[in-house]
């Protein structure tokens, strides 16, 4: 499997993690030392992976609410053999998200090392992600 396919597979697992609130996939997708942040909250919202993992574990999954999946990979860029960047979009509840994911390959596997995101409030179906 080439690096692009490996990263795309990781992103598919990332979307499944969020849609199903799957903690086992969370542990595969995120590097244990990854960061989670957004400047859309005041003050800046920052979470460690243990704190973010707890949020996912306690969240009622979009799957359990029969929410339509709207997962989009906008781009994947490689800086080298072990570093990449992905811009993705998804929806959870009444919010759409644009996620900037920094990726690293360690011990032969890709992981998300940083998730920085923008929140976009939904304004009706015409504004839904495609």
The CATH number that applies at residue 58 is 3.10.450.50
CB atoms within 10 A of CB 15: 20
- Give me 70's structure tokens: 């709207």
Can you give the pLDDT at residue 130? 44
From the list 92, 96, 91, 87, the residue with the least C-alpha distance to 115 is 87
Find the domain containing 25 and state its range. Answer: 3-121
Torsion angle of C-alpha atoms 25, 19, 2, 101, degrees rounded to 10: -90
The dihedral formed by the CA atoms of 50, 14, 104 and 6, expressed in degrees to the nearest 10: 150
Q: Are 72 and 89 in contact, with CB atoms under 8 Å apart?
A: yes
Q: Would you say residue 8 lies in a domain?
A: yes
| Residue 126 belongs to a domain | no
For the chain, the domain total comes to 1
State pTM to two decimals: 0.90
Residue 41 lies in a domain: yes
Q: Is 55 domain-assigned?
A: yes
Specify the pLDDT at position 126.
Answer: 43
Burial of 19 (0-12, 13-18, 19+ CB in 10 A): buried
Domain assignment present for residue 128? The answer is no
- Please report whether residue 29 resides in a domain: yes
Q: Specify the pLDDT at position 1.
A: 80
- List helix spans (H) across 31-113: 49-58
Sign of the dihedral through C-alpha 21, 56, 9, 62 = positive
Segments of the chain scoring below 70 in pLDDT: 123-130
């Amino acid at each position: 499997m080439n690096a692009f396919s490996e990263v795309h597979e990781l992103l598919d697992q990332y979307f499944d993690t969020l849609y199903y609130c799957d903690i086992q996939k969370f542990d595969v997708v995120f590097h244990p030392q990854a960061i989670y942040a957004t400047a859309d909250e005041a003050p800046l919202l920052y979470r460690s992976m243990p704190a973010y993992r707890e949020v996912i574990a306690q969240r009622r999954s979009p799957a359990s609410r029969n929410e339509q999946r709207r997962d989009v990979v906008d781009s994947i860029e490689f800086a080298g053999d072990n570093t990449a960047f992905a811009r993705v979009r998804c929806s959870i509840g009444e919010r759409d998200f644009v996620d900037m994911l920094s990726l690293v390959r360690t011990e032969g596997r890709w992981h998300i090392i940083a998730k920085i995101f923008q929140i976009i409030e939904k304004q009706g179906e015409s504004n839904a992600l495609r």
